[in-house]
Amino acid sequence: MTQPMPQFPRPLPQIDRDHAEWWAGLRRQELLVQECLRCRKQLFPPEPLCPHCHSPEMGWRRSSGIGKVYSWVIVRRPSHPWFADKVPYAVVVVEMQEGFRVVGSIDCPIEKLRDGLPVEAGFEDVDERVTLLRFRVAV
């Protein structure tokens, strides 16, 4: 580790009680989607109870991790100092096979990004607590 500590750390999520299980899933390399145990509707982002039937009995389903690029941005002027030496970088919105969408980074040259690009979820541990989604182009 010869790299100096960056002056600004990477922005990170606050993990609260209603969403701790979702982040715990990423740490286990599982992409989870919340599912209502009563009406079986899928929900993302998670809520403290089901907005469709108001059941408090909510469970989790493990996603296949397979999806398609739905939209993206290529950031060329950084807004946060941690990203200053990372531009240009892409952020993708991926529609998973199960129908819900998530945001992630992607290992793909920015000029190759396109609507519907098949991808699969990868997982990147960024500290002792947080794991983030990093998609790969599916082969």
Partner 1 sequence: MSGSLRRKAAIVGIGATEFSANSGRSERRLAVEAVLAALDDAGLRADDVNGIVNSDYDDTNQLDVINALGLRNIRAYATIPHGGGSPCGTVAQAAMMVASGVCSCVVAYRSLNERSGHRYGSSDAVPTFPWVYGLHAPYGLIVPGEWTAVHARRRMIEFGETREQWAAVPVTFRAHANRNPQAMQYRKPLTREEYLNAPMLAEPLCRYDYCLETDGAVAYVVTSAERARALKSVPAYIHAAVQGTAFPVWYQTNWYRENFTTGTEVVATAGHLWKESGLTPRDIDVAQIYDHFAPLVLTSLEDFGFCAKGEAGAFIGDGRIGLGGELPLNTAGGLLSEGYIHGWNLILEGVRQIRGTSTAQVEDVEFSLVTSCWGAPTSAVIFSR
State which residue, 39 or 73, has the beta carbon closest to partner 1: 73
Which of Zn ion, partner 1, none lies near 103, with the C-beta cut-off 5 to 8 A by kind? partner 1
Tokens 């408090």 sit at which residue? 56
Please state the closest distance from residue 31 (CB atom) to Zn ion, in A: 21
CA dihedral 102, 62, 29, 17 (to 10 degrees): 70
Size of the site for partner 1 (CB under 8 A): 43
Give me the sign of the Cα torsion angle 77, 113, 62, 127.
negative
Q: How many CB atoms lie within 10 A of CB 36?
A: 21
* 83 in contact with partner 1 (CB under 8 A): yes
**121, 104 Cβ separation under 8 angstroms:** yes
d(C-alpha 31, C-alpha 17), whole Å: 18
CB of 108 to partner 1, least distance (A): 14
Q: Does 37 bind Zn ion (CB under 5 A)?
A: no
39 binds, among Zn ion, partner 1, none (CB under 5 to 8 A by kind): Zn ion
- In the window 16-45, what residues touch partner 1 (CB under 8 A)? 16, 18-19, 44-45
Choice from 100, 108, 117, 119 touching partner 1 (CB under 8 A)? 100
